[in-house]
Amino acid sequence: MELIDSHCHLYVPDFAADINEVIKRAKNAGIKRFYLPAIDRESESLLFDLESRFPGECFAMQGLHPCSVKGDFSEELKRVETSLSLRKFAAVGETGLDFYWDRSFESRQYQAFHQQIEWALHYALPIVIHSRQSIEQTIAVVREHQKGSLNGIFHCFNEDEQSAREIIALGFYLGIGGTVTYKNSKLPEVLKNIPLENIVLETDAPYLPPVPFRGKRNESSYIRYVAQKLAEIKEVDVETVATITTANALKIFAV
């Protein structure tokens, strides 16, 4: 069985002490590739370091996280722009809109999101989107830019079926992670009606661990619990979930 973790922050300090073990456990669980979304300037060198330690397994994205859009955002965007011009990345991301934590930088979040989509189009890269308490607005921005060539993932998708269908109609994939295993999650009902062909798996490690690891650090090997849950929802075996979602991820990412 081959799995791909389409979204994990394995470079953050939470993993500094045992990253080799974390990667080893993940490989033993069948995970072949780890896609690393960028956050901001502070974590960039950690991300690049991890990528260079695991060539062909860890793949860097480049972007500015909406929660890192602050007063210095134009410098941050300049850094992203330069970096994108210097080498190949798997995707632009994570980018998007987050109105949950802080709305004071809302207009700058929009500006940063539009800008990053334009770079994705320019370099023919997919975008990895973070959306929290902003799904309608996020979909509207993507729709505005979708002339046929834009693609990517709505990471940590946790919305209703209507939003899922709009995202799929835009040619995007749903990133499904640990939240699908949560007791009160409405996602299982939603995903019953969504084909596996529109889904990729992710952990968002070290965040959002699946049941039975809630409250602990999440890691990529736990993606099996997400795959297992999806298999139950879709009434297929877990190998089918792995085969289809892995093929989807390989189709999306530029490397």
Task: Return the number of the residue (37 or 209) whose C-beta is nearest Zn ion.
Answer: 37
Number of residues that bind Zn ion (CB under 5 A): 1
Q: Which of the residues 78 through 137 are near Zn ion (CB under 5 A)?
A: none
Task: Return the number of the residue (68 or 221) whose C-beta is nearest Zn ion.
Answer: 68
Task: Return the number of the residue (37 or 210) whose C-beta is nearest Zn ion.
Answer: 37
Give the long-range contacts of residues 206-211, CB within 8 A, separation 24 or more.
Answer: 206/9, 206/12, 206/14, 206/15, 207/9, 208/156, 208/177, 208/178, 208/179, 209/178, 210/177, 210/178, 210/180, 210/181, 211/178, 211/181, 211/182, 211/183
Task: Return the number of the residue (5 or 166) whose C-beta is nearest Zn ion.
Answer: 5
Task: Return the number of the residue (91 or 196) whose C-beta is nearest Zn ion.
Answer: 91
Task: Return the number of the residue (58 or 234) whose C-beta is nearest Zn ion.
Answer: 58
**Residue 228: burial class (beta carbons within 10 Å; 0-12, 13-18, 19+):** middle
Taking alpha carbons only, the member of 120, 196, 203, 116 closest to residue 155 is: 203
Least distance CB 206 / Zn ion (angstroms): 10
Residue 218 CA to residue 220 CA, distance in Å, equals 7
Least distance CB 236 / Zn ion (angstroms): 27
Least distance CB 250 / Zn ion (angstroms): 20
Where in 61-202 does DSSP place strands (E)?
A: 92-98, 127-132, 152-154, 173-176, 199-201
Q: Which amino acid is at 201?
A: L
The CB-nearest residue to Zn ion is 37
Least distance CB 227 / Zn ion (angstroms): 19
Task: Return the number of the residue (234 or 253) whose C-beta is nearest Zn ion.
Answer: 253
Least distance CB 131 / Zn ion (angstroms): 11
In contact, 98 and 155? CB cutoff 8 Å: no
Residue 197 CA to residue 96 CA, distance in Å, equals 23
Radius of gyration of the chain (CA): 17
Q: Which of the residues 19 through 38 are near Zn ion (CB under 5 A)?
A: 37
Least distance CB 204 / Zn ion (angstroms): 5
Output the six-digit token pair for 46.
């950690």
Least distance CB 188 / Zn ion (angstroms): 22
Question: Which spans in 36-105 are helix H?
Answer: 41-53, 73-86
Binding mask 37-66 for Zn ion (x = CB under 5 A): x-----------------------------
> Applying CB under 5 A, which residues contact Zn ion?
37
